[in-house]
Structure formats: C-alpha cells, structure tokens
Structure 1
C-alpha cells in the first residue's frame, strides 16, 4: 500500500541556520529559517524540530505557516548554543499545487558553525544549509 503513495521530491526549499546579531541581548545567535526559493508560494507549512544524540534528546517544537510566499523565507526558531553539538532535525511538510511534499532536513551534530557558512538562497546572507 505505501509503495502506491507518491510523495514528490522537494526542490528549492531549504532549512538554513544563520548567525545574526541580536540587538536586545548584544549577542551573535544562530537562528533556523525555512526558505522558499520557488516561484510559487508554499501553503500550510508544518515544521517539527528536535535535537538528539546518543545521550540527549530535546523536546519537539512545532511550527506552522499558513503561507510562505515565493522567493521568501521565515524564521523558524532560535538555536541555543547548547544544542549545536546535537543532530538537529527539521521535518517539513507543505502543500504546493495541491500536492503534499515532505522532507527531513538534518544538521549533523557540530555542523552549525562559522567554518561551514556559505551563501543561503533568497536571503542574501551566509549560513549553514541542512542536508
């Protein structure tokens, strides 16, 4: 039965960790963003995030966006320094042209750091893209 379900491949949608200066706390913080680099909006975007390794697991966080416009991005959450050592997973589900898409975006433990930064689509900033 499951083999009969066709879930299309996710293209031009990304999750990125971007280091930004926080004016309020006067600190450099990592923030997770979802990026829509498509020419069409994404509808009913659902994101479930958590971090884990062999010894620790964080609580799951759930996020919802009714619409993510074309060629845009939205902040998902702040990434606390203590979870950077963990594998951070973002399970993303959305609708596009009446079809459901889903993908797990993963930052391996320790991969969110300055040496791994590169250009981030649609943001005109540097950050780390999830696998």
Structure 2
C-alpha cells in the first residue's frame, strides 16, 4: 500500500536562516524563513521544527501558513544561537493545486554561522540555505 503513494520531489522551496539586525532591541538575531521560489502559490503550508543531538532534543515547534504566494517568503521562527550546536530539522508539507508535497530540510550542527552566509533567492540578504 505504502509503495503505491507517490509524493513528488520538492523543488523551488527552501529554508534559510538569516542573521538580521533587530532595530527594537539593537541586536543581531537569527531568523528562519521559508522561501517559495516557484511560479505557483503554496496552500496549507505546515512546518514542524526540532533540534537534536546524540543526547539532547528540543521541544517541537509547529507553524501553519494558510497560503504562501508565488515568489515570496515568510518568517518561520526566531532561533537562539545555542540551537546551532544541534542538528535542526524543518519538516515542510504543503499543497500545490491538489497535490501534496513533503520534504525534510536539515541544518547539520554548527553549519549555521556567519562564515556560511550566501546570497538567498528572492531575499536581498545573505543567509544559510538548505535546498
């Protein structure tokens, strides 16, 4: 039965972690974003995030975005730097038309840092990207 379910490959949807200046608190914060670089809107986007290592696990964070327009992005969450010592997963599920898509994005431990910043699609900032 399970072999009969076909979930297509996700392309054009990314997760990025960006180091941004917070004008209110005058600090540099790390924020996670979902980027929709597709030419279609994404419906009912569900994002489940967590961090883990061999002996630590964070609590699970869930976020729902009713509709993520084409060629746009949305903030998922603020990330504390202590989490970067863990593997961080972002499990993303969404509908494109009537088809369901699902993908798990993984930021391996210590890969989110200032030296790993690169230009991001659709955003005028640099960040750490997982495709």
TM-score by length of structure 2 reads 0.97
Question: Matched residue of 2:39: which SS?
Answer: coil
Cα distance in 2 between the residues matched to 1:123 and 1:11: 17
Which residue in 2 is equivalent to 1:120?
120
- What is the Cα deviation at residue 130 of structure 1? 2.1
Unaligned runs of 5+ in 1: none
Which residue in 2 is equivalent to 1:81?
81
Once superposed, what is the RMSD of the aligned Cα atoms?
0.8
**Greater than 4 Å deviation, 4+ residue runs:** none
Which residue in 1 is equivalent to 2:67?
67
- What is the Cα deviation at residue 2 of structure 1? 0.9
TM-score by length of structure 1 reads 0.97
- What is the Cα deviation at residue 113 of structure 1? 0.4
Unaligned runs of 5+ in 2: none
Cα distance in 1 between the residues matched to 2:22 and 2:52: 26
Are 2:45 and 1:49 equivalent residues in the alignment? no
User: How many equivalent pairs are there?
Assistant: 131
